[in-house]
Structures are given as structure tokens and as C-alpha cells.
Structure 1
Amino acid sequence: MRSARHLHLPVWALLLLLHFSAFVPGARGQQETDDESEFSYDCGSENGPENWGKIKEEWATCGTGRMQSPIDLSDRHAAQAPNLGYLNHSYRSAKASIVNRGHDIAVMFQGDAGSLWINGTAYHLRQVHWHSPSEHHLNSHQYSLELHMVHLSTENKAAVIGRLYKIGRREHFLHKLEPYLRRMAGTKEKEENVGVVDPWEARGDGEAYYRYTGSLTTPACGEGVIWTVIKRVATVSTHQLKLLTDAVHDGFEMNARPLQKLNGRDISLFCAHDDHERYYAAADY
């Protein structure tokens, strides 16, 4: 588990760590909750998405924030931004474990899995997880699955790469995880080591991307997250999608937060000149 690394610390050290984190800018807001029993994705329920901000004081941003995610990434609202350039990321294979967090399945990296560089700041890859159906929409179209690659800076600021999937051929990265997903569905195991994982396989293909400032999509919905959503839509098999949804806890088979208001935010779109026509011609909305 993510908390296991602190089990051998003395009590005074744990208290000091918790005290310090309360004063680090964004330390709480850039973290996801681990207790899925307190919230759900059931719209209309007492603990559903529209009420997340009322459940806990520290979750208030879920209801009051004006830079919330996900959003509909519309080409009509996106401004061409060639100055953004190609994504500057350097990933490396690292040991990892697969974790059933109840509300989703995540691959947690235990070593240095590389970084994403944005405006001179390094955001270190910490974990990847999935949402079904997709949380972001492209031109009002919702897809079958979305992968989030979560990166954190040394100041605990988040940058997330999102990748969308439609039903089709099996996905290579998920294919390697299928045995672990099957065991989790059968035994409800919470965590299992998966050996060395190559993040490049999760990143996949596609150079064109959308960029905007938003939030985490689970409580506490901390804002200031730099979102990069790859424009090219990948494919996932129906079998792989079922493995992911069977592994999570009952009630979280559909774990996508509803769309949030844009509230005048800018959406930028980077698309290399030689790829521009090809991407738009091949778009499948």
C-alpha cells in the first residue's frame, strides 16, 4: 500500500510528517482520497458527484471550485498552440505494484519511473490508473475508457496525461496486466507486485494533445492540475474493459466523474504541422 513505507517510523516522526504536510502549498489538494466508502459515482445519491463538496470540509473545492475536471475538449474552443511543442518526457522502466483502491485500479511505481517536463519544472511519474467510461469528452463524444498518468513535482503540484480508448484491438499495456486483474477480481486482493513496468507502453502513440488547467477528478478535487489529453484515441478490447470493471468494488464499475463547467478557461491544442491534416482526417468522433 502507499502508506506501507511509513509503518516503521516512530510515532513522533509520523506526527511531524502530518503536521508539515498541512503547511506545504497544495499538499492536501493534490492528493486523492483512499477511502472510497465516503463517496460514489451514483448521480442523485447522497454521496454522489454533485454532493462531494458537502461530504467533508476539505472536499469543498469539489463543489465550489471553478477549475474543475473533467471537461469537454471541443475543437471549437481550443486555440492552436504550436509554441507548446512536443511533450518533453523521459520515462524509464521501474518496479511497480498493481493496487485495487476500490474506486479504481492503479499501477504504483516504487522507483524512479521518469518525468514530464513542463515550463522548466519536472513532474515525476508516480502512478497510472483507469476510469470507465472516459471522464474527458472529445467534441462531445465520451469514450469507453480513460488512462491517467499522474505526475507530481517536488512541490507536490500535479500534472496528468490522459489517454482515451474506444473498443477495438486489445491494448498492449493492459495485456501484460491481465493475469493480475483476473486474480484481483477473484480474490479481491488489494495489492500485488508486478515486477518492472515500462511507462512508455502506457503512454502509447500520439503527438497532438490538448492542454488546460483543471483539477483532480476524485475528492478532494484539488485545482491547479496541468492536464495533457492526447488527441489520438487508442483501442481496448471488451475483455480488457471487463477485467478492469470486474476488479473494482461493487458500485464503482462506472467510475467517471460527470463533466464540469469550463468557466472561461483556455484550452490549447498542439498539433505538429505535418500531422495536422492526418489527425483531423482520421478523427473518429
Structure 2
Amino acid sequence: MALQLFIIFALSLLLGIASAIDVFRGMEIGYSGHNGPGKWGKLNPTFSPCSTGKRQSPINIQRNLTVHNKLLKPLTRNYESANATLVNRGYSVGVRFEESPGDLLINGKNYTLQQFHWHLPAEHHIEGQRFAAELHMVHRAADNSAVVVSMLYHESKADPLFSMVMSISKEQITTLDSPLNSHCKKNARPCQPLNGREVDMYDELK
């Protein structure tokens, strides 16, 4: 069940990360070395929450610290075929959509899927376990608020891109990893402290 877990984060949780995805272009960032995650907060004033923010991601999800929120409603995903471009930013490989591929409906509010990208290995942990890869699907609403849907993958035989069985092959990992800059080969930020935050859980498969 953990392998099929959808983790939903609002922009407040990803402050300084989700917003940075679109403005890293042209900057020499890394996941190791002199411009690694510990230095991101100093690369640009906009990124200062990376150093000072208390609502940062990724996190280690511990079941005994999660709360089953019965008020959470199912996600309504309305995706469709759309033209897209495969993008290598050096620090991640992803897909940028040239037209709207559809929306994610959360509590009556629409968030349009804009892009998705991979992290190798996964950024978020579950009970201290790190998975082979993590897909981030970045959505934005008309008011520019953002929601990121995260999918965790374990290494196994290859599956279609959006298979509900979240597995990724060694060959696929190599394909996603090979174009990255040398200091971004493991493009996963270390887990950040919860700082008293509550992690609400919804079992989509119940």
C-alpha cells in the first residue's frame, strides 16, 4: 500500500522548493558540493525559506505520527492527452506541457497540471525507507497557488508511465539519471524536520 501512496502538499509545505522549480533555470544549483541543498537559501533572496523556513519538504513520513483525517475527500483527476516537451534542466529530467493536460480538483478548487519531473532516489521517506524514485506532478490554480502530487517508485520491472503499480526498472533509472549534471546525479534533498506539522492521511484504495 505504501508504494501506491499519493502524498499531497500545498505550496506552504513546499515553500522555497515548488516555487524554485520554475526559476532555477540559469542558476548553478546542485545536490552536492558548494551549491548543494544546504546553500540553496543563499542563491537568491527568493529561496531564503530553504534556509529559514519551518514548513520545508521532503519529510520522513512516520505512521505513528500521522492522523487519519476523515474529512479529506478523494482527489478528482481530470487528465487528458496534450502536447508536451521532454526537458533536461541538468538538475532534473521532466515533462513540460505546451497546452492544458487537465486539472486536479481539491475541495472544489481546480489546479491545472503544468509539469512533472523525477527525483532519483526518492526525496520523501516512509518509516525511514527511501524508494528508488519519486515523481512530482506540479499543479497551479488561477490564483498561482500550487499543489504537488508525489508518487513513490520501487525498483522492479518496467511499467507504463502512469501505471498504478509504482515501479521503475534499472534501465529507466539509468535513462533518467544519465543526462543530469555530475553534481545532480542524486537529485534528492535531505529530509527536513516536521517542526510540529501534522501529516493527514487518506486511504485512496479503501
| Corresponding residue number in structure 1 for 2:107 | 119
1:156 aligns with 2:144: yes
Amino acid at match of 1:84: L
Q: Tell me if the contact between 1:30 and 1:157 (Cα under 8 Å) persists in the aligned partners.
A: no
Report percent identity of matched pairs.
Answer: 35
Is the aligned partner of 1:249 residue 2:181?
Answer: yes
User: What are the equivalent positions in structure 2 for 1:31-46 lying under 5 Å apart?
Assistant: 31-32=20-21, 33-35=23-25, 37-42=27-32, 45-46=33-34
Corresponding residue of 2:7 = none
- 1:134-159: CA deviations, max 9, x gaps? 00011110011000110001111110
Q: Give the structure with the larger helix fraction.
A: 1
Greater C-alpha Rg: 1
* Matched position secondary structure for 2:188: coil
* Whole-Å separation in 2 of the counterparts to 1:171 and 1:127: 20
Distance 1:128 1:36, change over 3 A: same
Amino acid at match of 2:28: E
1:256 counterpart letter in structure 2:
A
TM-score (norm 1): 0.63
Q: What is the CA distance between 1:118 and its match in structure 2?
A: 1.4
Deviation for aligned residue 1:83 = 2.1
Deviation at 1:35, TM superposition (A): 3.0
Aligned residue pairs, count: 190
Contact map agreement 1:36 1:103 (CA 8 A) in 2: no
1:96 maps to which residue?
A: 84
The residue identity in structure 2 corresponding to 1:133 is: P
What's 1:238 paired with?
170
Residue 29 (structure 1) shift: 7.5
Q: 1:31 to 1:146 in 2, by over 3 A?
A: same
Matched, 1:57 2:55: no
Q: For residue 249 of structure 1, report the CA deviation from its aligned partner.
A: 2.2
How far the C-alpha of 1:46 sits from its partner, in A, is 2.7
SS, match of residue 106 in structure 1: strand
Worse-matched range after superposition: 51-60 or 72-81: 51-60
- 4+ residue stretches of structure 1 with deviation over 2 A? 28-31, 33-38
SS in 1 for 2:96: strand
> What is aligned with 2:8?
none
Matched, 1:271 2:203: yes
Q: 2:68 aligns with which of 64, 68, 80?
A: 80
Q: Does structure 1 retain, via aligned residues, the 8 Å contact 2:29–2:91?
A: no
Q: How does 1:109-258 map to 2 (within 5 A)?
A: 109-173=97-161, 201=162, 204-205=163-164, 234-258=166-190
Post-superposition shift, 1:31?
Answer: 4.5
1:30 matches 2:19? yes
Give SS of 2:154's match.
strand
Pairwise CA distance, 1:54: 2.0
Decide whether the 8 Å contact of 2:58 with 2:189 is kept in 1. Answer: yes
User: How far apart are residue 121 of structure 1 and its match?
Assistant: 1.3
1:37 positional shift: 4.3
Amino acid at match of 1:41: Y
* 1:259 aligned partner: 191
CA RMSD in angstroms comes to 1.9
Gaps of 5+ in 2: 1-14
Instruction: For 2:18 and 2:135, locate their aligned partners in 1 and report how far apart those are by CA, in whole Å.
Output: 21
User: Mind listing any 5+ residue stretches in structure 1 that lack a counterpart?
Assistant: 1-25, 174-200, 206-232, 277-285
Where 1:50 maps in the other structure, the secondary structure is helix
